A and B are shown apart, each in its own frame.
Chain A
Amino acid sequence: MSEITPDLVRHLASLARILVTDQEVEQLAGELGIIVDSVATVTKAVSGDVAATSHPIPMANVYREDVILPSLSQLQALSSAPDSAEGRFKVNAILDED
Chain B
Amino acid sequence: MTEITSSSAAVLAGLISSKEASSVEITTAFLDRLEKLNPKTNSYLYFNRENSLAQAKRADQQLAEGKTVSPLHGVPIAVKDNLTTTDAPTTAGSKILEGWVPQYDATVVRKLREASMPILGKTNLDEFAMGSSTEFSAYGPSKNPWDLTRIPGGSGGGSSSAIAGHLAPLAIGSDTGGSIRFPAAMTGSVGAKPTYGAVSRYGLIALASSLDQIGPVTNSVMDAALLQDVIGGHDPNDSTSLPNSLGSMVQSVKEADVKGLRVGVVKQLSSDGFQPGVKACFDDTIKKLAAAGAEIIEVDCPSFEYAVAAYYLILPAEASSNLAKFDSVRFGLRVTPDGNPTIENVMAATREQGFGPEVKRRIILGTYALSSGYYDAYYGSAQKVRTLIQQDLAKAFTQADVLLTPTAPTTAFKIGEKVNDPLAMYLNDIATIPANLAGIPGISVPNGLASEDGLPSGVQILAPAMQDGRMYRVASIVEKLYVDQWGASLIARVPDLEAL
Contact = CB atoms under 8 A, between A and B. Distances in A.
B346 A91 contact: yes
Nearest to B333: A82
Query: Most chain-A CB neighbours within 10 Å: which of B340, B385, B438?
Result: B385
A52 B423 contact: no
B59 interface: no
B365 A42 contact: no
Contact of A62 (B239, B305, B355): B239
Nearest to A80: B331
A38 B421 CA distance: 13
Nearest to A37: B423
A33 to B, nearest CB: 11
Nearest to A15: B367
B388 A52 contact: no
Interface in B437-460: 437-440
B364 A18 contact: yes
Interface stretch (B27-35, B260-268, B373-381): B373-381
Interface stretch (B96-104, B127-135, B409-417, B474-482): B96-104
Interface string A64-89: 10000000100011011111000001
B117 interface: no
Interface in A20-66: 20, 24, 28, 31-32, 34-36, 38-43, 45-46, 50-57, 59, 62, 64
A92 B377 contact: no
A90 to B, nearest CB: 9
Given A12-B371, A28-B361, A53 B387 contact: yes
Contacts of A4: 368
Contacts of A46: 381, 384-385, 388
Given A9-B364, A82-B334, A45 B347 contact: no
B350 to A, nearest CB: 9
Given A36-B365, A56-B437, A77-B103, A51 B384 contact: yes
B49 to A, nearest CB: 25
Interface stretch (B3-11, B12-20, B199-207, B307-315): B307-315
Nearest to A97: B340
B388 A45 contact: yes
A14 to B, nearest CB: 7
Given A57-B439, A80-B101, A19 B364 contact: no
Contacts of A62: 239-240
A92 B195 contact: no
A39 B313 contact: yes
Contacts of A15: 367, 371
Nearest to A72: B103
A52 B386 contact: yes
Interface stretch (B39-47, B269-277, B322-330): B322-330
B373 to A, nearest CB: 10
B209 to A, nearest CB: 9
Query: Most chain-A CB neighbours within 10 Å: which of B103, B239, B347, B368?
Result: B368
A21 B366 CA distance: 20
B345 interface: yes
Contacts of B248: none
B343 A92 contact: yes
A93 interface: yes
Contact of A43 (B330, B368, B381, B438): B381
B332 interface: yes
Interface of A: 4, 8-9, 12-20, 24, 28, 31-32, 34-36, 38-43, 45-46, 50-57, 59, 62, 64, 72, 76-77, 79-83, 89, 91-97
- Which 6 pairs across A and B sit closest by C-beta, in order of nearness? A56-B439, A82-B334, A52-B383, A80-B331, A19-B352, A53-B386
Interface of B: 100-104, 195-197, 210-211, 236, 239-240, 242, 303, 305-306, 309-310, 312-313, 320, 324, 327-334, 336, 340-349, 351-352, 355, 360-361, 363-365, 367-368, 371, 377-378, 380-388, 390, 422-423, 426, 436-440, 465
13 contacts: A8-B368, A12-B371, A41-B306, A42-B309, A42-B378, A42-B385, A43-B378, A50-B387, A56-B436, A59-B197, A81-B331, A82-B332, A92-B336
